[in-house]
Copies of this chain bind each other. A is one copy, B any other.
Amino acid sequence: MSDDAMAQPFVKELVNQVRAHDTFGAWGKKTDAEVISPYIVDKEARKALPMMANPDPDTIWRVEMFYNAVALTIERRSGLVAQPIMKMHHEGFGRVVLTVGRLVAVSKHLRDVHRFGFVDHAKLNEAGEKLVAEAVELLERFPEAARA
């Protein structure tokens, strides 16, 4: 992993988001790359995961932080607050919605959440940026609903 990958805006936002929850300072000495290493699931690691399993609370928390970072990046780009709401079934499927005013800026059905992860930091950044770009496009398309 290169330093460039860690400097990508979405990845940086995610690092901030995870660090913000480090209320006991347990990760104070960890590098940014270490802090978000659980998000990187390469092909070998993925193979080692069972096809079906119930995600543990840490995994669900990780997914929540990912969508929090999406929400904060949307806010940074648009100046409008995005509120996340995520509902997970314990078997690992669910739905996440980010609302901006009266607009559904992001809506994703989740499944196989125990396998949530990205092959590398570039793919992680790409996934976050894609959601942000789609949301910003919707905000431009429906500005009144977003401000209602």
**A interface residues (Cβ-Cβ under 8 A, vs B):** 85-87, 95, 97, 99, 101-104, 107, 138, 141-142, 144-145, 148
Contacts and interface: CB of A to CB of B under 8 A. Distances in A.
Contact of A85 (B97, B103, B138): B97
* 4 closest residue pairs by CB, A with B: A145-B145, A142-B145, A102-B104, A99-B104
A99 B85 CA distance: 12
A60 to B, nearest CB: 12
Contacts of A104: 99, 101-104
Contacts of A85: 85, 87, 95, 97
A22 to B, nearest CB: 21
Copies in the complex: 2
A101 B138 CA distance: 12
A142 B97 contact: no
A87 B99 CA distance: 14
Nearest to A100: B104
Given A86-B87, A145-B145, A102 B103 contact: yes
A80 to B, nearest CB: 13
Given A86-B87, A87-B85, A87-B87, A145 B95 contact: no
